[in-house]
Structure 1
Amino acid sequence: MTGSYLYNDTMSSNTSLSFGDSSLNMTDASSIQAKNDILRYTECQSIFKACLAQRYLFLIIGPILIVMSTVGNSLGIAVMRHKSLKNTATSVFIIALAVSDTVAVWTGLSRHFVYKLTEYDIRQYSVWACRFQRFFLYVALDTSPWILAAVTVERFLAVCMPQLHPAIKTAPRAWLIVLGIVVFQLGFNSHVFFNYGKQIITGDNQTEVFSCGFSSPAARKYIVIYQGYILLALYCVIPFIIMLTLNILIIKRLHKVKKSFEHRNMSIKSQRRQTRSHSLTKMLLTVTFYFILVSTPNFIYTLIQSKLLDTKNFTAQEYAQTEIIDAVCTLLLYLNHTLNFFLYCVSGRRFRKQLTSMLKCGAGTTKRGSVTYMPSQSDNHKSFELPSMEKQGTKGDAI
């Protein structure tokens, strides 16, 4: 069901909650949970200003983020598939990141947009539609931060432990790492096929049937009470600790190398490499803090909301006030998966140059039908200013 709030603000203890074919009589506490489950699954009434604000946020900002994500990530994949880059580990990670971000935005944010535009929710179409939509969304969302962590590890090895960097610097090995991340997320998120299902809530002269409810009391307990903490750890805390710790070590290493070079005569080439390394490290730190800044609010809010849904007897109007907070946190989460490509890639001067050349090549082909971009020999020997793209060789070359 995807209608508006249809129940009274008070429900008696004579309330039943069904999971699949089983039904349970509810205590007063469970009656609160049942009523709040209806609030969780149904569309916010437009008579509340907060609900209108939430609706317009998704209708206006949602399409903008979808277009930005699709265009930006598509261009990123095209550039990373250039023959001078496609055999590097960094290109593999960034292509995988672009794919996971695009899938996350299209399976998640597009659902919100369609829901607010038409009041049709694909999750309520059927039990299996609910499960598969959640499954692909959660896998895509959870894959992105671990790919970012993998990029950070690769750069750390290139700068601080170049003797170990060959273990992951090739494209085939990078694809194996990406495959391992995806397989883990597929297994971890397979719980949606067991924890989500048909849920029936019967109260004062009304019955609500949801195709995307909790499949059992144990499933409700896991999702409402425990899942938020698990996701906060796996999506935010652990990847952030990895990225922050390794970035600090990278900065210390670069600072140490810079001080050692101050007592020597540095060639222009070495100076440029040092400048590039510092610039890339700053960019990686920016991505790290941007990631935690826009991702954490959604999970903290989810933890607070889940606690309140188990204990607070919300009225429809009170719950509507939380909808605007939910919309902002959700859009921030998808903003992370929209701008990752721009923050991580477009800062490189040579990346922008290659992107410009590629776009000009396309424009020339469209106009004249016979113009083909052929990179010169010097172009093939230029490296892009991306994390972990330094030339490999001696310890100094890796920095």
Structure 2
Amino acid sequence: MANTTLQTLVKEMYGNTTLPPAVTTPFYPPEFHRLNAVSTFLNTFYIWVIFVIGCPGNVVCVVVIINMSKQRLTTSFFYVAVLSIVDNLTIILKIIENQSRQMRFSIDETGCQFLFFFGLTFAAFANWILIILSAERFTAVAFPMRVGLIWSLKKAVGILVGVFLFLGLIHSHIFATVTHYESYTCTVKETFHQHIFPFWFFTSATIYAFLPATCLIIFNILIILSLRRHSDQRQHMLSKCDPAQMEARRQERQVTIMLVTLSVVFLILTIPRCVCVILYNQLCSDDKDFMCDARRGLFNAITTQIADTNHAINFYLYFLSGRRFRKQFLKLFRCGPVTYTEVSNETTHMSEIPIAESGI
């Protein structure tokens, strides 16, 4: 049918019954169609997997944090709760973008611009909250006596607002460069595509992945080194039989495990996306190599969905690596017997110094 239509069009153009030598029907091998089918499946349906896994977990996380903070809301609790809310907003915006791409509902140019702006800004904001959280934890470990002054709730709110405004400024070009084509979807305007899109692609990836990954590596190395140093100091300050020493070590181990777990998982899920961004334009030397283009499209789809998974799994990482968070969750939802170790104020005073307001 396609060949017949093509021949008819050529006859009308050339006024003869034979195809000119330059006009050929491209042949796509089965592998090409399989790669495109997998890419389409991931881009169409995986966001719903993220929604099912992530949204309930993020909501539960906020509920648990609220219950843990009834007596006192620490900056760590505040950051974790905000992160859960931002993760859910990011997932919802990605679903809206997904449905607009599938032509499930109409959207105009203004809608595209706001969708891209808030979608990219919230996605990057979630990763930057991890940076802020790691910086706060480093301060709690390295400067336990000053953490309350450095990281007050008022300053925490100000930092979050400042970071969000900064990320919004980075993505503000969207209101001039993004449009909607009726037969396609939200995309960069033709006039900006050649000059703006490569720069935007790399800048957005830097803000979303490169900088957060680098900062998390640095902060967590500093945290581990600080924990070791404080552990050595307490060995000289505390008696070997002092219960506070054992409690302090347990607290340090919990904080270290949680931070390292969050960071390692973030890096594992994000680094493939960084690699894709760096190599995207170098993967195919010939623009006419449709097989290479199909493989590149699949690589892009896989790394994008893997990176988006970060917005869905934080609750489960808190549950697995945060003892206090896990106990509060089990107590709140009555999933099983919960026991707490009663420790007097005299024995916990020194043990709480290294982690200060670590929270989880």
Distance 1:391 1:64 in 2: 44
Distance 2:41 2:148 in 1: 50
> Residues 154 and 329 (structure 1 numbering): CA distance in 2 closer, same or farther, change over 3 Å?
same
Distance 2:85 2:142 in 1: 29
Which residue of structure 1 lines up, in the alignment, with residue 333 of structure 2?
359
Query: Percent identity between the aligned chains?
Result: 21
Are positions 1:169 and 2:151 aligned together?
yes
Which residue of structure 2 lines up, in the alignment, with residue 81 of structure 1?
66
Q: 258, 262, 284: which is aligned to 2:259?
A: 284
Which residue of structure 1 lines up, in the alignment, with residue 90 of structure 2?
104
Which residue of structure 1 lines up, in the alignment, with residue 38 of structure 2?
53
Structure 2 counterpart of 1:107, which letter?
Answer: L
> Residues 394 and 129 (structure 1 numbering): CA distance in 2 closer, same or farther, change over 3 Å?
closer
Which residue of structure 2 lines up, in the alignment, with residue 265 of structure 1?
239
Greater alpha carbon shift after TM alignment, 85-94 vs 146-155? 85-94
Distance 1:181 1:84 in 2: 27
Structure 2 counterpart of 1:238, which letter?
Answer: L
> Residues 125 and 354 (structure 1 numbering): CA distance in 2 closer, same or farther, change over 3 Å?
same
Distance 1:79 1:92 in 2: 12
Are positions 1:151 and 2:133 aligned together?
yes
Unaligned runs of 5+ in 1: 1-7, 9-44, 200-207, 362-377, 383-389
Greater alpha carbon shift after TM alignment, 294-303 vs 75-84? 294-303
Which residue of structure 1 lines up, in the alignment, with residue 279 of structure 2?
304
1:156-191, Cα deviation, whole Å (9 max, x unpaired):
111102343123433232222111121212222111
Which residue of structure 1 lines up, in the alignment, with residue 315 of structure 2?
341
Are positions 1:91 and 2:85 aligned together?
no
- Measured after TM superposition, the shift of residue 329 of structure 1 is 0.8
Q: Please identify which structure carries the higher strand content.
A: 1
- Measured after TM superposition, the shift of residue 381 of structure 1 is 9.8
> Residues 209 and 93 (structure 1 numbering): CA distance in 2 closer, same or farther, change over 3 Å?
same
Structure 2 counterpart of 1:133, which letter?
Answer: L
Distance 1:100 1:280 in 2: 23
Contact preservation (8 Å) 1:79, 1:354: yes
Q: 300, 311, 320: which is aligned to 1:326?
A: 300
Distance 2:185 2:100 in 1: 15
Which residue of structure 1 lines up, in the alignment, with residue 164 of structure 2?
182
Distance 1:174 1:284 in 2: 19
- Measured after TM superposition, the shift of residue 318 of structure 1 is 4.6
Which residue of structure 2 lines up, in the alignment, with residue 228 of structure 1?
201
Distance 2:171 2:275 in 1: 20
Structure 2 counterpart of 1:272, which letter?
Answer: E
Q: Secondary structure at the match of 2:334?
A: helix
Q: 122, 131, 144: which is aligned to 1:140?
A: 122
1:10-39, Cα deviation, whole Å (9 max, x unpaired):
xxxxxxxxxxxxxxxxxxxxxxxxxxxxxx
Q: TM-score, normalised by structure 2?
A: 0.76
- Measured after TM superposition, the shift of residue 126 of structure 1 is 2.0
Contact preservation (8 Å) 2:137, 2:355: no
Q: Secondary structure at the match of 1:140?
A: helix
Distance 1:392 1:242 in 2: 30
Unaligned runs of 5+ in 2: 1-5, 7-29
- Measured after TM superposition, the shift of residue 72 of structure 1 is 0.5
Distance 1:62 1:140 in 2: 16
Which residue of structure 2 lines up, in the alignment, with residue 215 of structure 1?
189
1:77-135, Cα deviation, whole Å (9 max, x unpaired):
111112436621011111111111111122115643x478xx3266x732122212111
Structure 2 counterpart of 1:150, which letter?
Answer: I
Distance 1:306 1:154 in 2: 38
